[in-house]
Amino acid sequence: QVQLVESGGALVRPGDSLTLSCAASGHTAGYATGWFRQAPGKGREFVASIGWSDSRTYYATSVQGRFTISRDNAKNTVYLQMYSLNSGDSAVYYCAADSHDSGSDASAEYGDWGQGTQVPVAS
């Protein structure tokens, strides 16, 4: 089991940048990590994922080119760098751990979830 804690959420303005962190503890080796988000009244949406051994990344089309996911295995931390934020990015952001080595865009593949961090984007 993996315990995950997100941080870095904040109120930002359109066009701003923000970096979220996901600190993991427990049995973290071999786990891919994903970021998902959920806006009010909407379902949970895949954002990005990164594999454990090869750090292969996948992105949702809506964030491709604006968001960057990375990991520091020595620190057991995964980051989500977000650029050119817009109102459509407003959501609670969750990180999740997938027991497979490679990440997935399917939330059902992820067995452990953090509590989420809010990112409101408003002018």
pLDDT at 26 > cutoff 90: no
Distance CA 111, CA 26 (A): 13
Q: Alpha carbon of 16 to those of 36, 60, 75: distances in Å?
A: 20, 19, 26
What is the pLDDT at residue 102? Answer: 85
What is the pLDDT at residue 1? Answer: 84
Tokens of 31: 């786990």
pLDDT in tens, 41-52: 999 999 999 998
Question: What is the number of alpha carbons within 13 Å of residue 19 lying toward its C-beta?
Answer: 9
Q: Alpha carbon of 61 to those of 29, 41, 58: distances in Å?
A: 28, 21, 9
What is the pLDDT at residue 65? Answer: 97
Tokens of 22: 């996901």
What is the pLDDT at residue 79? Answer: 98
40 CB contacts (<8 Å, ≥6 apart)?
Answer: none
Mean pLDDT of 74-103: 94
